[in-house]
Amino acid sequence: MNHTRQVNVGGVLIGGGAPIAIQSMSTYSPTDTARAAVQINALGAAGADIVRVAVPDKKAAEALRDLRQMTDVPLVADIHFDYRLALTAMEAGVDGLRINPGNIGKRENVVKVVDMARKVGIPIRIGINAGSLPQDILDEYGGHPTAEGMVEGAMRHVRILEEEHFEDIVISVKSSDVPMMVKANRLLAEQVDYPLHLGVTEAGTEYRGTVKSAIGIGALLLDGIGDTIRVSLTDDPRKEVRAAKEILSSLGIQQYGPVLISCPTCGRTQVDLIHIAQTVEEKLKAFKSPLRIAVMGCAVNGPGEAREADFGIACGKGSGLIFSRGEVLRSVPEAELIDALLDEIRKYEEEHQDR
């Protein structure tokens, strides 16, 4: 894991060895305060550590004060070009800014934002997207976005803040092109020790966007690069949070409740394993313990193939086995397999809840 500095976003620590923070973004304007608050709190309940909110104008910035009072998740104000929106957002009590200091006009405007951010103790995230690089950087790197150009664009903004002796910074370099995003973050990680926010921007709808995000974010996390992540989906943002949790769980970095492992079925399977696995996966949401739960289609090989699972079922025709870490616990009728499995998990949680 790359060692990075640590920043504090409303009590959520980013970098410096802190757990990877999961972020998402509200799909509502702060002016639609009631609906935005409901969504943001739902994202928090789903597992989002931080939620970003678009602030396109003065009314949206002013509405942040009420939104801040109605939500219990750290809020980051996403602002472009108008430094006054950043000042109003900070006055409203946001926990972080996403703003590029090179895009807010005169140096005196940057100083105003930096001085207030320093005073209220909130970090600034510099965010560069491949699709919005300035023309001179595009010209320098062949007329099209490159990983090198993205890093140069980010470092321009970083240097502006550093010149004002402000280093409470998070950086993101995002692209819809997964290899470019990965390369840019690897290059950036060699140059700075600021915490990095990872994401594949404009990744797409649920299926494609999740796959692209898992590849890009996952590759970097396996390199030890990245301190906070957002899976960007054209869908309900709660799906972004679920996908982020699955990425972290699959990498063994952080686990959020039980993880399901299941075989893909084959000609030996004599039950509707797909339905059983989907049912178990849904019911596992009610549990909190970081267990590995297996659903296997073969009673002969299942317990051995999933011997690392804490609990599992191996299905046969008419009956199946409940097992734990490769050891068979008992045989039960097929219709009772799921309930029997859930009973074992429930019993485990009751025995360990006070430990």
pLDDT given at position 134: 86
- Give the type of residue at 165: H
Identify the band that residue 348 occupies on the pLDDT scale cut at 50, 70 and 90. Answer: very high
Residue 146 pLDDT greater than 60, yes or no: yes
Tokens of 73: 């998740």
In one-letter notation, the amino acid at residue 351 is: E
CATH 3.30.413.10 spans which residues of the chain? 259-352
Residue pointed to by tokens 């903004």: 157
Residue 338: pLDDT above 70? yes
Residues constituting the chain: 355
> For residues 217 and 210, what is the distance between their CA atoms, to the nearest angstrom?
10
CATH top-level class for 7-250?
Answer: alpha beta
Are 332 and 319 in contact by the 8 Å Cβ rule? The answer is: yes
Angle at 118 between CA 153 and CA 221, to 5 degrees: 50
Closest CA to 240 of 49, 109, 69, 74: 49
Q: What is the b/e burial string over 278-315, where b = at least 16 CB atoms within 10 angstroms of the residue's CB?
A: eebeebbeebebebbbbbbbbbeebbebbeebbbbbbb
The pLDDT tens digits for 76-101 are: 999 988 999 999 999 999 999 999 87
Pick the CATH number of 259-352 from 3.40.50.300, 3.20.20.70, 3.40.50.11820, 3.30.413.10: 3.30.413.10
Look at residue 178 in the predicted model and tell me its pLDDT: 97
Torsion sign, CA atoms 94, 99, 105, 106: positive
The average confidence (pLDDT) of the chain is 92
Sign for the CA dihedral angle at 331, 332, 337, 340 comes to negative
What pLDDT, on the 0 to 100 scale, is given for residue 199?
Answer: 96
Bridge partners (DSSP) of residue 311 are 293
Residue 355's pLDDT is 55
pLDDT digits (tens, 9 = 90+) for 254-306: 988 899 989 888 877 888 889 999 999 999 989 989 999 999 888 767 777 77
CA distance to 49, 51, 287, per residue, from 23 (Å): 6, 6, 22
At 261 the three-state DSSP class reads strand
Three-state DSSP class for 129? strand
| pLDDT score at 104 | 81
Q: Which runs of E-coded beta strand occur in 161-226?
A: 169-174, 197-198
Please give the backbone phi and psi of residue 85, each rounded to the nearest 5 degrees, phi first. Answer: -65, -35
Burial environment of residue 52 by CB neighbours within 10 A (0 to 12, 13 to 18, 19 or more): buried
CATH 3.20.20.20 region(s) of the chain?
Answer: 7-250
State CA 286 to chain mean position distance: 21
Provide the pLDDT for residue 344: 94
Residues 235-257: what's their mean pLDDT?
A: 93
CA distance 205 to 107: 39
What average pLDDT score do residues 223-231 get?
Answer: 97
Please name the helix (run of DSSP H) or strand (run of DSSP E) that holds residue 23, with its range, or none: strand 21-25
Question: Is the pLDDT reported for residue 161 higher than 80?
Answer: yes
**Per-residue pLDDT tens over the stretch 193-220:** 999 999 999 889 999 999 999 999 999 9
pLDDT digits (tens, 9 = 90+) for 36-61: 999 999 999 999 999 999 999 999 99
Q: Which helix (DSSP H) or strand (DSSP E) does residue 45 occupy?
A: helix 33-46
